Amino acid sequence: MNAIPTRDGFGTELVALGKERKDIVVVSADLEDATRAEFFKKEFPDRFFSLGIAEQDMVGTAVGLALEGYVVFASSFAVFMTNRAYDMIRIDVCQNDANVKIVCSHAGITVGEDGATAQCLEDLALMRVLPNMVVLCPVDTIEAKKATRWMAENFGPCYMRTSRAAVPVITNEADPFIVGKANVMREGKDAAIMACGLMVSEGLKAAEILKKEGIDVRVLNMHTIKPIDADAIIKSAQETGAIVTAEEHQMAGGLGSAVCEVLAQKSPVPVEMIGMNDAYGETGDPEGLLKKYHMKDVDIAQAVKRAIKRKK
Amino acid sequence: MVNRLKGAFVAEQKMDVKALRRKAIEFRRQILEITNSAGSGHPGGSLSAVEILVSLYHYKLRHRPMDPHWAERDRLIISKGHASPVTYVALADSGYFPKEELKTFRKLGARLQGHVHRKVPGVELNTGSLGHGLSVANGMALAAKMKKKDFKIYCLLGDGEIQEGSVWEAAMSSAHFHLNNVCVIVDYNKIQENGLVSEIMNLEPLADKWRSFGWEVAEANGHNFEDLKKALDKFDRSKKPYVIIAHTNKGKGISFMEGKSKWHGKAPNKDELAAALKELEGQEKS
């Protein structure tokens, strides 16, 4: 299977958009090489602004440009943007309802060797609690392209998480991508895995493992963390009776929490969560880290069995 | 002042200082009344900025109160968002919304929130958390340059506010991008919530700091209209981002409020309001 970082899809689509529209501008804080905003910079230097290593200033500047009518993409690493510039994102972007698209690479434990400070495991939680914000986590490079285009075409604050690590390409250009609507990657009746980003692939592998044991598992690609697809969650809960969430993120506050908020209020069923359990990461190779912190296909498969066992 | 666009609301080229002084007294009266009526708010840093806002709205800004989103307008960002009383008073006075609405300041359901909010016609940006306005002003200034528009972006900063590091990130950017369409006005009233700025975190040498960041610096007595006019007019010819350090008094105009940090975020009660209004009456006669 072909594997490409989702940041590449972002960078590529940004250039396509820049060719089609004059109102697309990009701001960056010296990481455009890594976020792939550089693709745009090379094509449209007049519409690209580097603010230096100053994320707070970058977000504020993005808002000023947006309030003057531009569609502004602001990119950095997830830690620097969502953690350091949070006050600017909360007030300048979200309270002012500015048309700013925040795109962050280097999220999750698979940032790897750079270690704990660089591995953002809080971004989905931080962005999800902000009113006016849409939160996206594309599953592969093809979906990252579609999400980038959707953000340009729809007014309002957005956050998109992209990956540094190459992730398997598991969708096709023709597949639907509707923000707020989860994609069923595999049907199943015994339990449902709801995952985002890289963990969707792990979930699909888990389903294969379980199939051999006669367990039939549905897998959902939750590319939109906010607005969460409550209908799909309730439907899966009612049809399968057991849910496992999986994300490269703290268990608290992210996709798992968003799913549980819906289930607890509308359709309670047993839930098991895969993610970081209230801990920071550490240096190491991405694969080794995923294993150490129990975010692999086998971990998801075990979680599914636990959830099924808890069914009444 | 040069009329940069016909049909705009451009105030008189000459400044009618006497009329502006009367306006300043009226602004102070309303600031005290609305904070008293709200039972909370920030009178100190509003009273210090009265002449600055009077000069902007009645002399310098190109604006159309009946058309707050007019594309050619000069933008004014109130980065010290707690200066909402003076901002709302100035906007109502210019006709952005009825003066009657000032009574709703800080009340449930009102547009006039405790810190300035874009729902209010004439307010460009929600602020309140300090150190945000200049970056946004820079973004607007970059947009103006890209679109080849000649509107200017003014940004009012508090002195305590510039202790925020983000202000200096933005100050660096303004110079880096040659944004000579940005004019910062620092309301240098020397007092912040818990005491003297110089004791809490000294800003001096302030003019040198801005200069070293690549700005053209003017200093003015922030309560003297002729002084403010001179400083504001010089901005039109600036080749660099431009800052006016306006030396002001916190609580200006009310003897028992002047220079007192406790009036940063406290509204006058009934008796204090009466005493203050009496003082203003005296100033009106003199």
* Element at B273 (helix H, strand E): helix B270-285
| Residue A55: active-site member | yes
Q: What percent of chain A has pLDDT over 90?
A: 98
Residue B1 predicted with pLDDT over 60: no
Query: How far away is chain B from the Cα of A19, in angstroms, using its nearest Cα?
Result: 17
The region that residue B197 occupies, defined by phi over 0 for left and psi between -120 and 50 for alpha, beta otherwise, is: alpha
Residue B11 predicted with pLDDT over 60: no
State pTM to two decimals: 0.96
Residue B208 lies in a domain: yes
User: Using 50, 70 and 90 to split pLDDT, how confident is the model at B285?
Assistant: confident
Residue B13 predicted with pLDDT over 90: no
pLDDT in tens, A27-76: 999 999 999 999 999 999 999 999 999 999 999 999 999 999 999 999 99
Q: Where are the alpha helices (DSSP H) in chain B?
A: 17-38, 44-47, 50-55, 84-94, 133-146, 165-176, 197-201, 206-212, 225-235, 270-285
Q: What local confidence, expressed as pLDDT, does residue B8 receive?
A: 52
Q: What local confidence, expressed as pLDDT, does residue B209 receive?
A: 98
CATH code, domain with B39: 3.40.50.970
Residue B257 lies in a domain: yes
* Element at B146 (helix H, strand E): helix B133-146
Tokens of A273: 């969560």
Residue B12 lies in a domain: no
Query: How far away is chain A from the Cα of B10, in angstroms, using its nearest Cα?
Result: 22
Instruction: State ipTM.
Output: 0.96
Strand order in the sheet with B242-247: B75-78, B153-158, B182-188, B242-247, B216-221
Q: What local confidence, expressed as pLDDT, does residue A65 receive?
A: 98
Residue B167 lies in a domain: yes
Residue B148 lies in a domain: yes
Whether A54 and B173 lie within 8 Å, measured CB to CB: yes
Residue B7 predicted with pLDDT over 60: no
- Which domains are present in chain A? 3-168 (3.40.50.970), 183-309 (3.40.50.920)
Q: What local confidence, expressed as pLDDT, does residue A253 receive?
A: 98
What are the CA-CA distances from residue A98 to residues A93, A131, B37, B197 (Å)? Answer: 5, 12, 33, 33
Residue B12 predicted with pLDDT over 70: no
Q: What percent of chain B has pLDDT over 70?
A: 95
Q: Considering only CB atoms, which chain B residues are within 8 Å of A68? A: 139-140, 143-144, 147
**Does the CB of A64 have a partner CB in chain B at under 8 Å?**
yes
pLDDT in tens, A220-270: 999 999 999 999 999 999 999 999 999 999 999 999 999 999 999 999 999
Residue B3 predicted with pLDDT over 80: no
In chain B, DSSP finds a helix count (H) and a strand count (E) of: 10, 7
Residue A161 predicted with pLDDT over 60: yes
Residue B81 is part of which domain span? 17-285
Cβ–Cβ pairs < 8 A, chains A and B? 94
Between B203 and B14, where is the model more confident? B203
Alpha-carbon span A222 to A228, nearest angstrom = 8
Pairing of the two strands A191-195 and A224-226? unpaired
Residue A288 predicted with pLDDT over 70: yes
**Does the CB of A61 have a partner CB in chain B at under 8 Å?**
yes
Q: What local confidence, expressed as pLDDT, does residue B166 receive?
A: 98
Residue B146 lies in a domain: yes
Tokens of A171: 């969708």
Cβ neighbors of A18 (< 8 A, separation 6 or more) are A24, A40, A43, A44, A47
Paired residues of B286 in beta bridges: none
Paired residues of A27 in beta bridges: A49, A74
Tokens of A5: 């970082």
Taking residues A196-218, report their average pLDDT: 98
Whether B147 and A54 lie within 8 Å, measured CB to CB: no
What are the CA-CA distances from residue B40 to residues A100, A271, B119, B126 (Å)? Answer: 34, 47, 21, 19
**Number of folded domains that form chain B:** 1
Residue B10 lies in a domain: no
Q: Within a 10 A sphere around the Cβ of A188, how many other Cβ atoms?
A: 21
Taking residues B115-135, report their average pLDDT: 97
Residue B65 predicted with pLDDT over 70: yes
Catalytic residue among A32, A38, A55, A202: A55
- Average model confidence (pLDDT) across chain B: 95
Residue B1 lies in a domain: no
Q: What local confidence, expressed as pLDDT, does residue B6 receive?
A: 46
Among candidate residues A188, A169, A166, the one with its CA nearest the CA of residue A7: A166
